[in-house]
Amino acid sequence: MICLKCVMDDSDPNVGIDSSGVCAQCRNYEQKVAPGLNNWSRKDTATFIQNLKSRAKRDKYDCIIGLSGGLDSSYLAYKVVKQFGLRAKLFHVDAAWNTPQATRNIHRLVAHLGCDFETKVVDWESLRQLQIAFFKSGVAHIDVPQDHAFLASVYGKANEEGIGTILNGGNFATEGIRNPLSWLYFGSDTRQLHDIAAKFGADISNYTVASALKHRIFFRYIKRIRNLKPLNYMTFTKREAELELEAAYGFEPYAQKHFESYFTKFFEGYWLPVRFGYDTRKPQFSSLIWSGDMTRPEALERLKTPALNNLEASLLKSYVADKLHISVSDLDRFEGLEKRTFTDYKNMSDIYSFGAKVLSSVGLEKTVKR
């Protein structure tokens, strides 16, 4: 069964399609997200930026922005520096999976903006062992080791340099329809991360970890580091953003969201759809349908073809195996393991669910993973 407004279907076990043929995420988007999408005036945005500048007027930087090389973080950095004049520290976390396209996009943007820029290189051996552990665990969310390193490193750098505001490229226009919890679990759940590392022999003594307590309580309320998403406070559409960045400094668009990382490209383009039947293009395209960047017929047509053709998938699979110092047959063996979920390991899902409900009830969270 498929939603009549977007392209989410029952590959999401909690899709919640009602008698009208509309899924729960669309109902939520219609009620909570759509009324405020692209609805801020220039005055509203100017006030937001001015408040941010005032908060940091005695500091070296107004904010720190984590750059992945993808569209959202690149457009965010470009707009707040070029249009709003923020003093931004640009920060990239190198997990050793960058595509050449991502590297070019980052370097071109940094050169164009002229901002201070720093790269943190993740300890590869720790990350490699942790990624293999997640493969062995049987869960779908094998991208957690990379994602957690990004999250922990950006908060750590903000704290180290006394920067009070992290600007995040997350946005409703391209991410308003969320990946289901069963597909992509919370990357910040350190209880689960440590449990899987311990069960499958990963030495993560040199891996950067930021516990939920640390980044949700200590950094936020003691150190007063905010994590804001300014793209929700300005007009933002994927197609126009790509054209603007291409014209400004030669940004190279990606075939699919998150394809700036070889590992994420393998994970979302091959591993999830082949092993689990989860196609992350469905929430991505559904978000673009709601923001007006894609029509539903166009989305349905694109979904008829796999994200990666057989040759692309085969080459990428070989690359990932070689990079992790394992064989393709090892990956094949992992692919055939019994499927597990986050509930099969120690986790903090109850805490996250409670927090999400509280934030939603007071209007601070408009999209919630189901």
Q: What is the pLDDT of residues 2-36, one digit of tens each?
A: 999 999 999 999 999 999 999 999 999 999 998 87
Contacts of 84 (CB under 8 A, 6+ apart): 45, 49
pLDDT of residue 216: 75
CA separation for the pair 299, 312 (Å, rounded): 21
Both tokens of residue 196? 């899987």
Q: Percent of the chain, pLDDT > 90?
A: 79
CA separation for the pair 339, 178 (Å, rounded): 22
Look-up of token digits 């976390």: 93
Both tokens of residue 27? 């109902």
**Which residue type is seen at 46?**
A
pLDDT of residue 366: 60
- Number of neighbours of residue 126 by Cβ within 10 angstroms: 20
pLDDT of residue 352: 73
Q: Which of 41-45, 164-168, 252-256, 364-368 has the lowest mean pLDDT?
A: 364-368
pLDDT for 356 beyond 70: no
pLDDT of residue 370: 63
Helix H or strand E segment including 88: strand 88-94
pLDDT of residue 1: 92
pLDDT for 112 beyond 60: yes
Q: Which CATH architecture has domain 40-361?
A: 3-Layer(aba) Sandwich (3.40)
Q: Is residue 323 packed enough to be buried (19+ CB in 10 Å), middle (13-18) or exposed (0-12)?
A: middle
3-class DSSP assignment, residue 239: helix
The model carries a pTM of 0.92
pLDDT of residue 365: 61
Mean pLDDT over residues 271-275, rounded? 97
The alpha-helical segments, DSSP class H, found in 167-211 are: 172-175, 190-199
Q: What is the pLDDT of residues 32-44, one digit of tens each?
A: 998 877 777 777 7
Where is pLDDT greater, at 213 or 99?
99
Give the residue extent of every domain in the chain: 40-361
pLDDT of residue 369: 63
Q: How confident is the model at residue 56 (pLDDT cuts 50, 70, 90)?
A: confident
Q: Dump strand ranges (E) for 136-289.
A: 165-167, 226-228
Q: In angstroms, how far is CA 149 from the centroid of its own chain? A: 12
pLDDT for 363 beyond 70: no
3-class DSSP assignment, residue 119: strand
Q: How confident is the model at residue 61 (pLDDT cuts 50, 70, 90)?
A: very high
Q: Which of 45-49, 104-108, 206-210, 257-261 has the lowest mean pLDDT?
A: 45-49
pLDDT for 364 beyond 70: no
pLDDT for 361 beyond 70: no
Where is pLDDT greater, at 260 or 39?
260
Q: Report residue 97: phi and psi, to 5°.
A: -120, 10
Strands of the sheet containing 88-94, edge to edge, are 116-121, 88-94, 63-66, 165-167, 226-228
pLDDT of residue 184: 92
Both tokens of residue 231? 């793209």
Q: In the chain, how long is the greatest CA-to-CA distance?
A: 58
Q: How far apart are the first and last CA of the chain?
A: 17
CA separation for the pair 367, 176 (Å, rounded): 7
**Which residue type is seen at 157?**
K
pLDDT for 362 beyond 70: no
pLDDT for 359 beyond 60: no
Q: What is the pLDDT of residues 140-150, one digit of tens each?
A: 999 999 999 99
CA separation for the pair 293, 299 (Å, rounded): 10
